[in-house]
A and B are shown apart, each in its own frame.
Chain A
């Protein structure tokens, strides 16, 4: 680990001023990912700004929205009454992620910013356009069983010097993407808000950038507007072991139902793209329909038409399709 300066601000303004003008500064919250990246020499901030003392832990419901402070712990969010009653999909996704110990340390803001688990990204001896722009994508013609199937790799606007088939590792972000979450960001210019769908980036051209966060900006909260999905939402995560594994594929399904029909639908997929993959057409395809396995299969296959496999992950196309069907069945309660 490269020696660094350690700072511990007390206010958001202080934190932001510490980071200003230092592009190599990094904020640290739970540190569950960043510390590991530093130990491996993948992240080497000159200044480590420990933000754990900022007043950003609050979880509250006001007016029509749930606001979760960036430093709220994953474990606290997952068991919070307002989360469980209003956004159970988020609680399910959080509990599907990591381990109990990690959830006790990891924060919501940190979860938004966790980096991919692609093996090539983690090994300094191997090529990786995300870690070292221009060095090539090691995974594209390498070990890529767990890699992206949507909008991934050479041919999607990039070339071999800029392609990246890594996937975003978060479970939480998949649920939040389905739930049209807003991210509250503070910087030297004040506060701004970005929809989560626009927060993370696809890998095109600049895979080194996971998000549209500007240097020095700090995520302070997320907000989820009330919805009518609580009764019919389901987070399905498929992984190589029963717990403590990143998703091969995950599905966050949120439906509004009435009189045996679906009236509103949101879906996001995890483990399939460089960012949580929003299935935009799902609402159009399901609205007004009665749930059935046949319908769900059509819906699943529709989205998978645009998927493209690499050498080792063709199974993910079928697996994602099956996962969509299984998640919709669980959300609608049909067998």
Chain B
């Protein structure tokens, strides 16, 4: 049992292809493009949670030297794709994306109400502080617990019979009622924000009246292009979106947010290129968040540990104007072989901005509850938490009644248990001390559905034998370009240094945005098939040459050459093939997408986390001292960057478990933890050695490269594993994140 993929010394994985430009400051991020005549914009945001603007006094602001305009609903241009304004203004029904500077209505605290545009950033900031807004305030609802009575079945779900968020039930509810052992508990996660270190930023440039270029931090250039084209009623190709380098996003860049529309609108109105960078405090109300969610789980088992039933209910918050739905309760249907499972999902609309997907969306939330409950059940059964999971291991998907395309979760469990030394763990909580600290071990499973979207890639052999591969995919951090370079380098048999991979530009071949752990499965497949097609073309061209390939059979590619067989010592170089055919470039564009296999198999990425914690018995401080994380995502494309991605997910999970908490003062409906002094994310001292292991066995059903997504399962389950370890260390079960000292002393 040692199937983990450590890097292979004879074929080492690539270092980040963009590493050098990033650490030397040469990578250009969205706010860093030097555009002549660039104006600077700063947003003014609402200080009430609900009501309407009665007046905007911008005289003082306009008098500041350098100020060109103060834009608000009073004077903003009409966005062609938006419906005509109503007089008087009317609140929109749920399901309407927020329209910036559209009317006088306030839907949430922190809503953009005006934007100051000036020659310099400093002038704009100063002037923004001089815009005086008066409101007619209305009573607001922001407090989740106090308004839970207003929650209900999402309208989206009511309208769609096939929605996965419909109430679900299988098996006989009596099984749970009659179970030998039953646990019922509530779990709460507070609102948490992505807060990537790079704030969201955009530079909008109208090259002509009907031609727009935006340098925008986002996770999907193609979808941003489509949405902007639609809003401004432009042909798609007249809009270009550039996002080559992104300083983290974690989901905050999946949508086109109001500030992007505001910048594009103002640039058009002023006929000048314009830059808008969100302030850190504005990041709390501008680009979504992981929603406050309350869950209840009833779970029961027979004395022998076989699950009798799981009832998983979850309610998440959303805004008054949109419904954001998450997979919160869905994992409970698929993870364990359990005869009776029921799930219910509800939304609670509040006077807040709309939440959005944040790394491991829904599943990170739901698995905190499910995997905590499994741990509680294990203690109630006096059985080992890992034993309990193995006893209820699902050999096929119990929800869809389909075989898994591949599932090496059992290997993950074994690997993790071995590496952390699980068998030496004493079962009794609060029974072991090390250097005066309470020592605890916990574990949790992880899973995330397989997402593969149609993707295109262009592969082009150059006259000098180098290769350019292109796709409008993104890199928000995982190392997309590095992984794609490795795929191209392997398929074509060229040194990775001779491969250039272009991404993050809407003019490139169609690709999905970077979300839902879909990039490697989707774009990796497209790059693979494009390079295979290019290789075939090259082989055919080589065959036409006088000194061409002798055999028509299987060729071998290596070092930028094609060989007719393993015994062929000479081969033909790619450069010679192009030269002979007088080609400057030989290119193909291919598309790759799922087929019938999606109906024949259930596809997931799986994993597990084992955690060691120390808890100070006097102060309640928790320190994670060791993490072993194991994943089955099929084939690992590039070990080094995959490992970094797993580490990043675990660090996010440590933040979720121990510190991240956006606190609102509900008297004002306003967040008060709007800086990094009060919104804590892990610092280096919070991050212990993290050991990463992969089963690295291709999932041949999934796609041509046998590889599934890794980004989400890296975080899903981490918070539960830590909470379980804290219970083991202290005997205290914390069901409300984050686990701060006050909850343990």
Which A residues have a C-beta under 8 Å from some C-beta of B?
1-3, 39, 41, 99, 117, 119-120, 122-123, 125-126, 138, 141-143, 145, 238-246, 248, 315-316, 318-319, 322-323, 325-326, 335
The answer on a CB contact under 8 Å between A240 and B618 is: no
* Complex interface: chain B residues within 8 A of A117 (CB): 677-678
- Are A319 and B682 CB-contacts (below 8 A) given A117-B677, A126-B668, A238-B621? no
Name the interface size band of chain B: 35 or more
- Are A1 and B126 CB-contacts (below 8 A) given A117-B677, A244-B683? yes
Report the minimal beta-carbon distance from B278 to chain A, rounded to whole angstroms: 14
Which B residues have a C-beta under 8 Å from some C-beta of A?
47, 122, 125-126, 129, 281, 436, 616, 618-621, 623, 658-659, 663-665, 667-668, 670, 672-675, 677-678, 680, 682-686, 740-742, 745
* Complex interface: chain A residues within 8 A of B663 (CB): 143
- Are A319 and B665 CB-contacts (below 8 A) given A240-B741, A243-B683? no
* Complex interface: chain B residues within 8 A of A145 (CB): 742
A143 to B616, CA, bound (A): 26
* Complex interface: chain B residues within 8 A of A243 (CB): 683-686
- Of B125, B126, B659, B684, which contacts A240 at CB under 8 A? B659
A178 to B215, CA, bound (A): 54
Q: A238-B621, A241-B683 are in contact. List 16 more A-B contacts (CB 8 A).
A: A41-B129, A119-B672, A119-B674, A123-B281, A126-B665, A126-B670, A143-B664, A239-B621, A241-B680, A242-B683, A242-B686, A243-B684, A245-B677, A315-B745, A323-B618, A326-B619
A80 to B396, CA, bound (A): 65
The answer on a CB contact under 8 Å between B674 and A123 is: yes
The answer on a CB contact under 8 Å between A123 and B672 is: yes
Report the minimal beta-carbon distance from B508 to chain A, rounded to whole angstroms: 38
Report the minimal beta-carbon distance from A250 to chain B, rounded to whole angstroms: 11
A241 to B657, CA, bound (A): 11
**Closest chain A residue, CB of each to CB of B48:** A125
Q: Is the interface of A mostly helix, strand, loop or mixed?
A: loop
- Are A242 and B685 CB-contacts (below 8 A) given A141-B667, A322-B745? yes
A-B contact pairs, 22 of them (CB 8 A): A1-B125, A1-B126, A119-B672, A119-B674, A119-B678, A123-B674, A138-B665, A142-B665, A143-B663, A143-B664, A238-B621, A238-B741, A240-B658, A241-B685, A243-B685, A244-B683, A244-B685, A246-B677, A319-B620, A322-B618, A325-B618, A326-B618
* Complex interface: chain B residues within 8 A of A316 (CB): 742
The answer on a CB contact under 8 Å between A241 and B672 is: no
The answer on a CB contact under 8 Å between A315 and B677 is: no
Report the minimal beta-carbon distance from A321 to chain B, rounded to whole angstroms: 9
- Of B619, B665, B677, B683, which contacts A322 at CB under 8 A? B619
**Closest chain B residue, CB of each to CB of A314:** B742
* Complex interface: chain B residues within 8 A of A1 (CB): 122, 125-126
**Closest chain B residue, CB of each to CB of A39:** B125
**Closest chain B residue, CB of each to CB of A127:** B668
* Complex interface: chain A residues within 8 A of B436 (CB): 335
Report the minimal beta-carbon distance from B340 to chain A, rounded to whole angstroms: 40
Report the minimal beta-carbon distance from B111 to chain A, rounded to whole angstroms: 13
The answer on a CB contact under 8 Å between A3 and B126 is: yes
A241 to B683, CA, bound (A): 8
Q: What 8 pairs between A and B have smallest CB-CB spacing?
A: A242-B685, A315-B742, A243-B685, A125-B47, A119-B672, A322-B618, A142-B665, A326-B618
* Complex interface: chain B residues within 8 A of A248 (CB): 741
Report the minimal beta-carbon distance from A236 to chain B, rounded to whole angstroms: 8
A10 to B325, CA, bound (A): 62
A315 to B743, CA, bound (A): 8
Interface centre among B436, B616, B621, B664, by most A CB within 10 Å? Answer: B621
A239 to B616, CA, bound (A): 12
* Complex interface: chain B residues within 8 A of A99 (CB): 683
The answer on a CB contact under 8 Å between B670 and A125 is: yes
The answer on a CB contact under 8 Å between A240 and B672 is: no
The answer on a CB contact under 8 Å between A241 and B658 is: yes
* Complex interface: chain A residues within 8 A of B659 (CB): 240-241
- Are A240 and B680 CB-contacts (below 8 A) given A126-B668, A143-B672? yes
**Closest chain A residue, CB of each to CB of B665:** A142
- Are A319 and B745 CB-contacts (below 8 A) given A242-B686, A245-B680? yes
A68 to B75, CA, bound (A): 57
A126 to B665, CA, bound (A): 10
The answer on a CB contact under 8 Å between B675 and A122 is: yes
**Closest chain B residue, CB of each to CB of A141:** B667
Report the minimal beta-carbon distance from A102 to chain B, rounded to whole angstroms: 11
* Complex interface: chain A residues within 8 A of B670 (CB): 123, 125-126
- Are A142 and B47 CB-contacts (below 8 A) given A240-B740, A241-B686, A335-B436? no
A99 to B676, CA, bound (A): 13
**Closest chain B residue, CB of each to CB of A239:** B621
* Complex interface: chain B residues within 8 A of A125 (CB): 47, 668, 670
Report the minimal beta-carbon distance from A147 to chain B, rounded to whole angstroms: 12
**Closest chain B residue, CB of each to CB of A146:** B678
Report the minimal beta-carbon distance from A53 to chain B, rounded to whole angstroms: 24
* Complex interface: chain A residues within 8 A of B684 (CB): 243
The answer on a CB contact under 8 Å between A323 and B619 is: yes
- Of B677, B683, B742, which contacts A319 at CB under 8 A? B742
The answer on a CB contact under 8 Å between B672 and A142 is: yes
Report the minimal beta-carbon distance from B144 to chain A, rounded to whole angstroms: 15
Report the minimal beta-carbon distance from A194 to chain B, rounded to whole angstroms: 29
The answer on a CB contact under 8 Å between B678 and A142 is: no
Report the minimal beta-carbon distance from B265 to chain A, rounded to whole angstroms: 25
- Are A318 and B686 CB-contacts (below 8 A) given A125-B670, A143-B665, A335-B436? no
Report the minimal beta-carbon distance from A138 to chain B, rounded to whole angstroms: 7
